Amino acid sequence: MEKFNTLLYYCYSPIANAEQFAADHLKFCKSLDLVGRIIVADEGLNGTVSGTKAACAAYMEAIHADERFAKTEFKLDEVDEPSFIKMHCRYKSEIVHSGLRDTSIINPNEKTGKHLEPTEFKEMIDQEDVIILDVRSNYEHSLGKFKNAITLDIENFREFPEKINELAQYKDKKVLTYCTGGIKCEKASALLLHHGFNDVYQLHGGIIKYGKEAGGEDFEGKCYVFDNRIAVDVNTINPSTVSKCYNCGTVTAKMINCANPECNEHVTQCDECGTKLHGCCSEACVTNPRRRPYDGTGYYVKVPQPVNISAK
Ligand SMILES: [Zn+2]
Ligand SMILES: [Zn+2]
């Protein structure tokens, strides 16, 4: 079976005419038969793309050949099938939505937390004056997080700025932020600095790179990802399961999409509750007439369309 690659990356680097760039870039990606999701903004690029190894290699080469993106780091995974169905490349106001468009306050190109490589992060996390801050949302950290990390009760990263007051007690500590691939930390750590936190660090490349380069040690549970895989294992040193069934509280690492397509909520659910609720998150969803048949995986993939002939 042919193996594919999935690439995760971001690059904060100003793009002039970003809207036009997005349209052209979409054509370019389609010419390589890539699938995925890319966000283009005036401040840079953020994407996950998937395709044959050759296509992914050509894509990385093209990105690196553009001097604006020469420093881009790709996190590369080998996958059995492409991690998306279609190719999307869209222009948005920010590459990660923080709601903070004032670049005079938050501009990761100018000021952001100190980057820690995975091994440096690993050396620091057990020190006394350090706190580890997970800047991701509830559905992400409920599936897995670093041991002893502080998590925030947020549904979306744009709620992060509202939570900074709750962290005031840590202003004089070394604050180590982390997220999935590093992109949110560029803004989160910049914002912490802006609010008077003195010693702010960020895990460069996020949990994904930490998994590859530091074995994922002390990351408890799984890492939520924004593609069809939903969750990936990152810890090969001391793996554990921390997530609990949304319905009964049993420890389980299984994450499902609710079988009710109108809900489609991502929840952790044990096999027993999955069988009882036909793969739904709740009794209410079980009664939905459009409920999809539950095959025990809790995973519903749309029928893949060959990307090169689809009109969109
Ligand atoms: Zn359960
Ligand atoms: Zn549901």
Choose the catalytic residue: 29, 56, 89, 179: 179
Distance (angstroms) between ligand 1 centre and the Cα of 207 equals 27
Which residue segments constitute the domains of the chain, with CATH numbers given? 4-91 (3.30.70.100), 109-224 (3.40.250.10), 244-302 (no CATH)
The three-class DSSP label of residue 29 is: helix
The three-class DSSP label of residue 275 is: helix
Report the distance separating Cα 214 and Cα 235, nearest Å.
9
Distance (angstroms) between ligand 2 centre and the Cα of 219 equals 28
Residues of the chain with pLDDT under 70: 1, 101-104, 301-312
Q: Tell me, what's the pLDDT at 102? A: 67
Q: Tell me, what's the pLDDT at 1? A: 63
Report the distance separating Cα 166 and Cα 205, nearest Å.
26
Distance (angstroms) between ligand 1 centre and the Cα of 274 equals 7
pTM of the shown model: 0.83
Neighbours of ion ligand 1 (CB under 5 A): 245, 247-248, 250, 270, 273
Distance (angstroms) between ligand 2 centre and the Cα of 141 equals 20
Which ligand is the nearest neighbour of the Cα of 246? 1
Calculate what percentage of the chain has a pLDDT beyond 90: 79
Closest CA to 296 of 271, 269, 266: 271
Distance (angstroms) between ligand 1 centre and the Cα of 227 equals 24
Which ligand is the nearest neighbour of the Cα of 269? 1
Active site residue 263: no
